[in-house]
Amino acid sequence: MTHSSGKVKSFLDASDIEASGAIPTTNSTTLEIHKVSVPPRITTLQCLKQRLSEFFFPDDPLQQFRNKSFFRKVVLGLQYVFPILEWGPQYNLKLLRSDAISGLTIASLAIPQGISYAKLANLPPIIGLYSSFVPPLIYSVLGSSRDLAVGPVSIASLVMGSMLREVVSPDTDSLLYLQLAFTATFFAGVFQASLGFLRLGFIVDFLSKPTLTGFMGGAAVIVSLQQFKGLLGIVHFTTQMGIIPVMQSVFGKTQEWSWQTILMGFSFLLFLLVARHISSRNPKFFWVSVAAPLTSVILSTILSFIFKVPEHGISTIGHLQKGVNPPSLNMLSFKGSHLSLSVKTGIVCGILALTEGIAVGRTFASLNNYQIDGNKEMMAIGLMNMAGSCTSCYVTTGSFSRSAVNYNAGCKTAVSNVILASAVLFTMLLLMPLFYYTPNAILSAIIIAAVVGLIDIQGALKLWKVDIFDFLACMSAFFGVLLISVQMGLAIAVGVSLFKILIHVTRPNIVNMGIVPGTHNYKSLAHYRDATGVPSFLILGVESAIYFTNSMYLQERILRWVREEEERVLKLNESTIRCIVLDMTAVTGIDTSGMEALLELKKKLNRRSLEFVLANPVGEVTKKLFHSGTWEHFGSQGVFMSVREAIVGTSDKFQF
């Protein structure tokens, strides 16, 4: 036990007078100084093993297999790979009824959307139906989400279309284009499945929500603008994605505008938007917006048939081949000059599809209070796309809009996907001729009505209020997509997100701390306005790991704090600074450069007759300071368990 003396003691006493009833005012600064313990040493290899297992298996996936019999392990293993084995045996008619209703509901949405999204990817409309048939069937066997409605989605379709069209024209080189689309789908599947298998699923988390908000907003604007081709009936339209060429095509070709198309397109667009609005105002009427697309298709097709619109210059879908998915394994091409294009497109579409699929899966799992395993889900989606690429499907994933409908319509299991697939099969076998008269303008209207919901202005405004950096990330993604290209927008979005993290570690916050009256808590003076500094001490808290990116900055910034504090103290005629306490509580890591910076700082401060002590290093940091020898330079009286002990200990030692 030691006793502090002089100014600091009287200060601490005075501060303690105001303290809570728990602490009497007498001998309150008599404080035992505790040794800072060093966590037990482990070897470098053990440390590596620990870190890797925490990195790749944070969810401890083998936990359920522990202490089970061999037979049970096999059953659990099979159930792990095929979740259908888990819920299948308990399946009953009551569940089927719910699933059938929701399955048919999403089918009414999936069929028009499938045809539209295929057009977004510059693919024949029938590919959209194929892609709504095989993938849902596979997902129902492998997938673990009960609410996911699988099929083509707008963002992945858009990106695939725009990336492939940059190199190959879908009009003049349609066979090559189709081959590339299937090959890209195959690579997307391989990439997705590998991410899951290698347990690198966290990569999708690198697309932060704000950047996705910006990205999707930008993509929605681009997609909507592109739809003017169909809505206005323009024949010669730009193949580029940028906002400028599209606007030029729209307003430069006014002679191609067809008033019949415009009238029909905009009427149905209005109808769809009103339906959307009704549903969003009152969730009970969710079926209004669900029924709207199919209603539009049916109505417009009937109108088109009655008025024989193809003769009046309104373009329609035309002849669609009947029948189920033809095999397309022979269309996959793994050589030639376009291989890198398919790989690149596959990876970009794959990660976008995963991001949407996983986010949707997690959202509805959380609503229904069950857990889904991200890595496992990625393998399911990946395998589904690999299988899809061999059966004339392009990239598919869980669609946000259709999954929401699925959930609202009361789906219970993945059987709703089977019902969806059956409805699509029925359509493909029997109803294809009916689409002959469906005007293309309706498909454009359906796409616009679907993507408009992706523009989240409220969300962007909230970001502006809460986090300026998130807002900037969002805006750069938005304008990146709009003004440069979809891929660049995505790259910018990821870059900005990661840059934000690096900035946090490059320019960490340093706070000047004082004691909060009535407590033993030392807090930032800027945060707690009633906290007061301790005379002769400068207590600084570093709010970041100390790494090579900030070690130089921290040195210079701390020296500036000392200089400014000395000037302030001189001006106010307070007692001179004698000791700098560095509160390491929030220093969550340190590397070799960081430790050198601490030593350098100690040397510089000591040269100016200032003490420099550390308070409360966390376990990881303590270990490193100890094993690198930095600890010895500070000595046992240079590292304390808490700021309070550092102050008492230091004032004891130097008698100030």
Binders in 237-276 for its own copies, by CB under 8 A: none
For residue 493, the minimal CB distance to its own copies (Å) is 11
Residue from 10, 14, 17, 47 binding its own copies (CB under 8 A): 47
The region of 158-166, 315-323, 427-435, 602-610 touching its own copies under the rule CB under 8 A is 602-610
Show the tokens assigned to 397. 């994933």
* Minimum distance from residue 215 beta carbon to its own copies (Å): 13
Choose which of 433, 501, 570, 606 interacts with its own copies (CB under 8 A): 501
CA-closest candidate to residue 7, choices 644, 578, 632? 578
Q: Which of 77, 526, 606, 636 binds its own copies (CB under 8 A)?
A: 526
633 binds its own copies (CB under 8 A): no
Closer by beta carbon to its own copies, 39 or else 336: 39
Single residue of 294, 628, 633, 654 touching its own copies by CB under 8 A: 628
C-alpha separations of 642 from 34, 37, 426, 598 in Å: 9, 12, 72, 18
Cβ distance 377 to 403 under 8 Å? no
Per the CB < 8 A criterion, the answer to whether 313 and 258 are in contact is yes
Spell out the residues 6+ positions from residue 152 whose beta carbon is closer than 8 angstroms to its own.
113, 114, 117, 118, 121, 128, 131, 132, 394, 395, 396, 399
Nearer to its own copies (CB atom), residue 21 or residue 283 = 21
What 8-state DSSP symbol labels residue 336?
S
Residue 224 CB neighbours (<10 A): 20
- What DSSP string runs through 591-624? -HHHHHHHHHHHHHHHHTT-EEEEE---HHHHHH
CB of residue 201 vs its own copies: minimum separation in angstroms? Answer: 9
**408 touches its own copies (CB under 8 A):** no
Q: Which stretch binds its own copies (CB under 8 A): 50-58, 73-81, 217-225, 348-356?
A: 50-58
| Residues paired with 316 in a beta bridge | 439
| Residue count, binding to its own copies (CB under 8 A) | 109
Q: Shortest gap between Cβ of 629 and its own copies (angstroms)?
A: 9
- DSSP-derived 3-state class of residue 537: strand
According to DSSP, the β-strands at 611-615 and 579-583 are parallel
Tokens 């409360």, residue located: 616
Give the one residue of 308, 312, 319, 527 binding its own copies; rule: CB under 8 A.
527
- Nearest to its own copies of 55, 65 (CB atom): 55
Q: Which of residues 366-395 bind its own copies (CB under 8 A)?
A: 366, 369, 371, 374
- Ramachandran region of residue 436, left (φ > 0), alpha (ψ -120 to 50) or beta? alpha
Using rule CB under 8 A, residue 90 touches its own copies = no
Rounded least distance, CB 643 to its own copies, Å = 10
How far, in Å, CA of 235 to CA of 256, rounded? 7
Residues 503, 568, 576, 632: which binds its own copies (CB under 8 A)?
503
Among positions 564-593, residues that touch its own copies (CB under 8 A) are: 585-589, 591-593
Q: Is the dihedral of CA 480, 440, 180, 157 positive or negative?
A: positive
User: To the nearest whole angstrom, how small is the minimum distance from the Cβ of residue 466 to its own copies?
Assistant: 4
Q: Is 15 in the site for its own copies (CB under 8 A)?
A: no
From 14, 64, 72, 202, residue interacting with its own copies (rule: CB under 8 A) = 202
Nearer to its own copies, 428 or 540 (CB): 540
Q: Minimal distance in Å, beta carbon 147 to its own copies?
A: 17
Question: 303-342: which residues touch its own copies (CB under 8 A)?
Answer: none
Q: Which of 9, 11, 15, 29 binds its own copies (CB under 8 A)?
A: 29
Is residue 349 classed exposed, middle or buried when 0-12, 13-18 and 19+ CB atoms within 10 A define those classes?
buried
Distance CA 483, CA 636 (A): 59
Which pair of tokens denotes residue 45? 């290899």
Interface pick for its own copies out of 440, 544, 650, 651 (rule CB under 8 A): 544
Q: Which is nearer to its own copies, 87 or 553 (CB)?
A: 553
List the beta bridge partners of residue 131: none
